[in-house]
Amino acid sequence: MTKKNINIILKTENLSIGYKTKREDLVVASNINIELEKGKLIGLVGANGIGKSTLLRTLIKVQPSLSGLIHINNKDLNQTSVQELAKQLSIVLTEQMTSKNLSVYELVALGRHPYTNWIGNLSQNDIEIINRSLELVNISSLKDKKCFELSDGQLQKVMIARALAQDTDIIVLDEPTTHLDMYHKAYILKLLQRLTKETGKTILFSSHEIELAIQLCDTMIVMTDNDVICDQPCNLISEGIFETLFPKDLITFDNSTGSFRVSK
């Protein structure tokens, strides 16, 4: 009998992801079996075009899987309504800014949408959650600014606060460090790490910042040409997984430092 881990919040079984065309299925990755634990920071990495966004979009039910199962909180995703899912999972996409004319407070308040009535009236409880979300991300002082007045780094924090206000067990972010400088990439990932610890939420993000993810994540999902592997960064290093990520003619992975080196 297999051991059942009650801390598993998201699990896939023989998941196959990709795109259906009229003629055939374009399979991006198959046989994906991952288990994500509650309260962990999980980084999804892999080369350009390997299928990170496709996997994230499938996990958040924005696109259908080709086959296999996804369970969130032990419930089949196919049996979960969009309204139900919005209370379990929030999403931060890179290019999702609809209206930069909103103030920071108004944008974060949109996170309460799954809980408010059809006019969007905020209760005292909603207001407290919004203020707490602003505080957690250290942007209370920005709350009256318009979003078009913000830098990319500030805007990313606002989007994270909006996801926190949605008050879900899981937050999924697609490339949250895009457009940020080295300092702010580290800042945002460190912020995500702190949030998992302070809120107990599970945070899953995709990124090209493999070295930062190795240092900060509890778990990593690595997509290679042949496999999708989910494990602790130290185990992935000792199994030599990062060496298989890119062609070796240009860059190699140094196990001792956990970093990539360019061949000279």
Ligand X SMILES: Nc1ncnc2c1ncn2[C@@H]1O[C@H](COP(=O)(O)OP(=O)(O)OP(=O)(O)O)[C@@H](O)[C@H]1O
Q: Which residue ranges make up the site for ligand X (CB under 6 A)?
A: 19, 26, 28, 46, 48-54
Shortest Cβ 57–ligand X spacing (Å): 8
Shortest Cβ 222–ligand X spacing (Å): 12
The length of the chain is 264
In degrees and rounded to multiples of 5, residue 119 shows phi and psi of -90, -10
Shortest Cβ 210–ligand X spacing (Å): 12
Shortest Cβ 29–ligand X spacing (Å): 8
Shortest Cβ 129–ligand X spacing (Å): 31
Contacts of 22 (CB under 8 A, 6+ apart): none
Shortest Cβ 50–ligand X spacing (Å): 4
The answer to whether residues 234 and 245 touch, using CB atoms and an 8 Å cutoff, is: no
| Choice between 234 and 250, CB closer to ligand X | 250
State the pairing for strand pair 228-231/219-223. Answer: antiparallel
| Choice between 51 and 111, CB closer to ligand X | 51
| Choice between 49 and 247, CB closer to ligand X | 49
| Choice between 27 and 127, CB closer to ligand X | 27
12-49 burial by CB neighbour count: b if 16+ within 10 A, else e?
A: beebbbbeeeeeeeeebbbebebebebebbbbbbbeee
Shortest Cβ 6–ligand X spacing (Å): 31
CA distance 111 to 14: 32
Residue with structure tokens 């990539």? 260
